[in-house]
Amino acid sequence: MSQHHHDHDHDHGDGHGHPHAEIAQTGMPGYYEIMETAVRELLVERRLIGADEIRRQIEVLDSRTPALGAKVVAHAWVDADFRRRLLANGRTACEELGISFYDDTQLIVLENTDEVHNLIVCTLCSCYPRPVLGLPPDWYKLKAYRARAVVEPRAVLAEFGTIIPDDVEIRVSDSTAMVRYLVLPRRPDGTEGFSEEQLAALVTRDAMIGVVPVTLTAGHTAKGALQ
Amino acid sequence: MPSQTAAHGGPFAGIVPADGEEPVFAPGDAVRIRTLSPVGHYRVPLYLRGKTASVEAVIRPAAVDNEEEGYGRNAGARRHYYRVAVPMTAIWADYRGNPADSLRIEIFETWLERI
């Protein structure tokens, strides 16, 4: 195998023309990495699962991104009947749109209003509505977010640039067992003429976790402070 | 007065549901999250044990206990989870914010007691 020389003048098509360190694993794997590999190899060796099943589940997870959740939110904004069904049973309403739930989790959709702001956290680990949003962001799994979201939610939100007025009630949902949560953000003013597709483009992952509102400039400025 | 079993949903009276089929608590009920110390896998965070809560909703359908499921026992009896609300000021003495701010969490039936 010849060494891959990085001296040809390409930029990966994404402006990625800068020099960088070799992309490679360095150092010894950690304790949990070794344990995961050992368990996986044992399961495959004993024919309890196969490599194809592992790959298939990775493909399932890779097919779920915040774009799905954004479509759900936009559909709820334009279709009052769907919005009612979504708030009554998040899982079956998402399934209506073809979003399958590959596990036994239920989905509760929490509507933000001018009186109530919902915020989602999993203090125990990283429970997250993966069927509709994909993998959680790294900050969602950090102990700082997990602990502080339930102790001082207003301070945490302020660090995301979200100032919640004192007269608005905050509800923090700690997602720890079999229910997952999705925030239905408020539809921003000035979007009356928007198509469902245009609306979906405004809805960010962080807005569906409840750390930022949806705004007309969302997607450009909604990067979390803890990112 | 309709019979209690009419609440089961069907048109026929006299159907007796099995233990665990019907939720023990209803929305609005005052409950206490029990103080238990299970060894190993648990799903009720320490900061909420012993706290008083009110039931916001019964989560349907009934499901297996995550704590049992954690040990691979995922075919056992099903009971309900409840979405309960606890005021932030009841959890943190020095909580700063709207007194109406609250924590919501789903709790398996065996972790709740009526008060």
pLDDT tens series, chain A, 227 aa:
444 444 444 444 555 667 777 777 778 899 999 999 999 999 999 999 998 999 999 999 999 999 999 999 999 999 999 999 999 999 999 999 999 998 889 999 999 999 999 999 999 999 999 999 999 999 999 999 999 999 999 999 999 999 999 999 999 999 999 999 999 999 999 999 999 999 999 999 999 999 999 999 855 444 444 43
CATH code assigned at B92: 2.30.30.50
Q: Distances in Å between the alpha carbon of A3 and those of A7, A144, B13, B40?
A: 12, 42, 78, 49
B39/A111: higher pLDDT = A111
Q: Are residues A103 and A49 in the same domain?
A: no
Domain total of chain A: 2
- Establish if A218 belongs to a structural domain: no
Residues in chain B: 115
Q: Are residues A53 and A136 in the same domain?
A: no
ipTM (interface pTM): 0.89
B13/A82: higher pLDDT = A82
Q: Are residues A90 and A185 in the same domain?
A: yes
- Flag if A123 and B45 touch (Cβ within 8 Å): yes
Whether residue B3 is predicted with pLDDT greater than 60 in this model: the reply is: no
Domain total of chain B: 1
- Establish if B58 belongs to a structural domain: yes
Of B59, B66, B101, the CB nearest to A169: B101
Q: Are residues A43 and A126 in the same domain?
A: no
B9/A12: higher pLDDT = B9
Give the mean pLDDT of B7-12: 69
Angstroms from B52 CA to nearest CA on chain A: 16
Rounded to 5 degrees, φ, ψ at A177 are: -125, -105
- Establish if A87 belongs to a structural domain: yes
Q: Are residues A82 and A194 in the same domain?
A: yes
Q: Are residues A56 and A70 in the same domain?
A: no
Question: Which range of residues forms the domain containing residue B40?
Answer: 20-114
Q: Are residues A37 and A102 in the same domain?
A: no
B92 neighbourhood in chain A, CB within 8 Å: 151
- Establish if B10 belongs to a structural domain: no
- Establish if A18 belongs to a structural domain: no
CATH code assigned at A69: 3.90.330.10
- Flag if A154 and B104 touch (Cβ within 8 Å): no
pLDDT number for residue A16: 62
Give the mean pLDDT of B10-20: 85
Q: What Rg do the C-alpha atoms of chain A give, in angstroms?
A: 21
pLDDT number for residue B9: 63
Closest CA to B63 of B80, B41, B51: B80
Neighbours of A43 (CB within 10 A): 14
- Establish if B14 belongs to a structural domain: no
pLDDT number for residue A226: 42
Give the mean pLDDT of B52-68: 93
- Flag if A172 and B102 touch (Cβ within 8 Å): yes
pLDDT number for residue B8: 55
Angstroms from A16 CA to nearest CA on chain B: 44
A75/B12: higher pLDDT = A75
pLDDT number for residue A225: 40
Q: Distances in Å between the alpha carbon of A105 and those of A36, A67, B99?
A: 24, 20, 31
Question: Which range of residues forms the domain containing residue A101?
Answer: 65-209
pLDDT number for residue A15: 54
| CB A179 within 8 Å of CB A128 | no
Q: Are residues A159 and A180 in the same domain?
A: yes
